[in-house]
Amino acid sequence: MKKNFIVALLCFVLFAGAEVSAEDATQKVITKVEGLYCPFCSYGLETQVKKIKGFKSVQINIKEGTAEIEFKPGAKVSEKAILTAVEDAGFDLDGVKWLTGKQK
């Protein structure tokens, strides 16, 4: 009985803090960007993406033509804001895949 109690207590302690609300979760998206060919292109895109409210970080893969963008927890980010940033950098957005969080 005592052993079962200890196991149950350990499980509770381990998993009690595991649940994260949507407001606390970091949002991540992968964007497919047409026309992303060189480091100068990458810099221009990064500059515009940093202007999105709630921006946290970006990883650009020139070879694949993608940008993985991470936003701060609780940020309300729309696909339109991402589209605007990509277009303002002079590129076409070919797709957005939400990895975590929900589109607002």
In this structure, of 10-14, 74-78, 88-92, the range with the lowest mean pLDDT score is 10-14
25 or 86, higher pLDDT: 86
The whole-number pLDDT of residue 25 equals 72
The whole-number pLDDT of residue 100 equals 79
Domains detected in the chain: 21-100 (3.30.70.100)
Nearest to 32 by CA among 76, 90, 91: 91
Query: At 15, is the pLDDT very low, low, confident or very high (cuts 50, 70, 90)?
Result: very low
Question: pLDDT, tens digit, for every residue of 21-79?
Answer: 445 578 999 999 999 999 999 999 999 999 999 999 999 999 999 999 999 999 999 99
Whole-angstrom Cα distance, residue 37 to residue 57? 20
The whole-number pLDDT of residue 49 equals 97
Does the pLDDT at position 1 exceed 90? Answer: no
Contact residues for 41 (Cβ-Cβ < 8 A; gap 6+): 35, 62, 89, 91
The whole-number pLDDT of residue 42 equals 96
Whole-angstrom Cα distance, residue 94 to residue 36? 11
68 or 11, higher pLDDT: 68
